[in-house]
Chain A
Amino acid sequence: MAEQKRNVHKKGSVKMAARRNVPFALFLLPSFGGVLIFVLLPFLDVMKRSFHTAVTTEFTGLKNYQVIFHNQAFLLAVQNTIRFTLVCIPLLVLAGLLVAIPLSTLKDAGLIKSVYLFPLAMPTATIVLVWKMVFYRQGFLNLFLTKLGEVTGQWGSVRIDYLGTGASFWVLVASYLWKNTGYTVVLWLAGILAIPNELLEAARVDGAGRWKCIRYIILPNLKGSFYTIVILSFLNSFKIYREAYLVAGSYPQEDIYLLQHLFNNWFVNMEFDKMAAAAVCVGIVLFGAIMLLQRLWDKAE
């Protein structure tokens, strides 16, 4: 009897599952079909190509991988991209937090938030000319620094060529911060406002000052936001290519020669074998990094 009942129940749940499976599949189908055709299947093709020569499509084993790992341009680009990521993401995370914490105490934060967010809406192409006006040797930044030197009497005329020297790296860092701080502020702010007010009230009643509240209540409660922000900042960090390309072209000063430049140049020169190998490598590294962050994220919650 009990057995029968269980069977009936099981049958019911199978039916239930089918009732969910079918609409799930139908709703997902158009998207999944497209993803399959435009991303997943061709990526398998790319994987296959990474083991073959570009033109004759002969099997070459790991040769393409060996080639890229001995390729000066690839090594330089990897190094620069890693350096850029490691410098930018901590700076961005911190900058966002420094704005978000005081902003969270204001009742009417809307306007200030808008101002920080606005660069996100500005197309890169519209600010390229401005960047040139600011960072060229005779540009606004040197003008400002020279005037500052005159006033303080500390240094003379400043004539740094920001785009032609190693300083170009910092120009990119600055434009990345300029563009993305608002995004990060919104995410931090959402995290801060999600902290139950009673928690802060209780701490204040117990005599905790502003710093103590931040250190012991706000920051520990923002772990979830932290991982999110790191992941999204990373995603956005690849878009810095737009600024780099528009300001300095396909072959910029060597400190800002990024993986994105290299991929584009390989593409233009139809060096698909190297591109395939590099795409697989970068894809695997990113996949690993995303999975690792997700694991950490799960733990944090």
Chain B
Amino acid sequence: MLKALGQSVKKNMTVLLLLLPAVFICLPVVLIITGSVMDSMELKQYLYPVFSDGEDFIRWKLMPDYPTFEHYGRLLFFTPSFFVLFWNSVRLVIGILAGQMLVGVPAAWAFASYRVRGSRTLFVLYVVLMLLPFQVTMLSSYLVLDRLSLMNTHLAILLPAVFSTFPIFLSYGGFRAIPMQLLEAARIDGAGELRIFFTIGLPLGKSGLLSAIVLGFLEYWNMMEQPLAFLEDKALWPLSLYLPEISWMQAGFALCASFITLIPAAFVFVLGQDYLEQGIIYSGLKE
């Protein structure tokens, strides 16, 4: 009995120790939310030492003295440009994910279910491409986009992202879990290759696709390097580039915009957490 008690104490200690850093991890969210419902004057007072570079320190209140939704009102009803950028983000992310599914999923299926000569070499090539950072391929992308006169259009962001090899790697992880014998059996029964893909591959391997969608959403909702390089016209920018342009003097407004930007990502995170984890695990799988 004493031993059991000791064990439960130990367990609780573990939980506590693990939660301690977790509190720090959540702190930014708390700051964003409380700041976004704070009255402008109050916020200015707290932040004044920071941008005036004075002697005092920043202050904060978890319960604002004058809670208000003024920033939300201003943002949602009097800032049409915010909607333009929001829709830019939505369009880009949905376009990219749809394209990746259309192009990448069949490719992943090819790698997972047909072992032909040269497929392994190609797969290694795909892995290397997946690991190359944007900066290394930036000039190459630019050369093509410029030749196709796509610079400063959304297609300049969409097309290179659609052919990213990362989602292929994730979907491959899902397809690989399907036993080959199942496919052989279907072939013997006379099913065509397309039919096998649609009736066996997709339903059984869907966890890989969903993982690719969840990880992809979080990645492209946060996309910065590509639009920064390839989009000059600020009206085409996604939200992720707009937020930092809001000045300190409008901190409440900026925090409120941050919160609204966070909502879709948080939504996808909560809904897709299992697939997110699955995706991370797939990303770590070796062929």
A24 touching B110 in the complex, CB below 8 Å, given contacts A35-B163, A123-B240, A190-B284: yes
User: Can you list 5 A-B contacts (CB < 8 A)?
Assistant: A31-B104, A120-B218, A124-B222, A125-B224, A130-B32
Name the residue of chain B whose CB is nearest to the CB of A142. Answer: B57
A38 touching B284 in the complex, CB below 8 Å, given contacts A115-B22, A118-B269, A140-B58: no
Q: Which residues of B contact A125 (CB under 8 A)?
A: 222, 224, 239-244, 258, 261
By the criterion CB–CB under 8 Å, are B265 and A279 in contact?
Answer: no
A28 touching B107 in the complex, CB below 8 Å, given contacts A42-B141, A229-B284, A259-B135: yes
By the criterion CB–CB under 8 Å, are B116 and A20 in contact?
Answer: yes
By the criterion CB–CB under 8 Å, are B284 and A282 in contact?
Answer: no
Known A24-B116, A37-B163, A126-B259; 14 more pairs at CB < 8 Å: A24-B114, A42-B143, A45-B140, A46-B139, A122-B28, A125-B222, A126-B243, A130-B28, A139-B50, A143-B58, A235-B131, A238-B135, A282-B135, A286-B132
By the criterion CB–CB under 8 Å, are B128 and A290 in contact?
Answer: yes
Verify if B47 is at the interface (C-beta below 8 Å from A): yes
Q: Which residues of B contact A267 (CB under 8 A)?
A: 138-139, 142, 229
Q: Which residues of A contact B29 (CB under 8 A)?
A: 118, 122
Q: Contact size class for B?
A: 35 or more
Within 8 A of B (CB), among A26-61: 27-28, 30-32, 34-35, 37-39, 41-43, 45-46, 49
By the criterion CB–CB under 8 Å, are A117 and B276 in contact?
Answer: yes
Verify if B49 is at the interface (C-beta below 8 Å from A): yes
In the A-B complex, the 10 residue pairs with the smallest Cβ-Cβ separation, listed nearest first, are A31-B107, A34-B163, A42-B140, A27-B110, A238-B133, A121-B269, A126-B258, A228-B284, A24-B114, A125-B243
A199 to B150, CA, bound (A): 58
A118 to B218, CA, bound (A): 11
Partner of B261, one of A105, A116, A123, A241: A123
Tally of A interface residues using CB under 8 Å:
92
Verify if A263 is at the interface (C-beta below 8 Å from B): yes
Name the residue of chain A whose CB is nearest to the CB of B228. Answer: A264
Within 8 A of B (CB), among A214-270: 224-225, 228-229, 231-232, 234-235, 238-239, 241-242, 245-246, 259-260, 263-264, 267
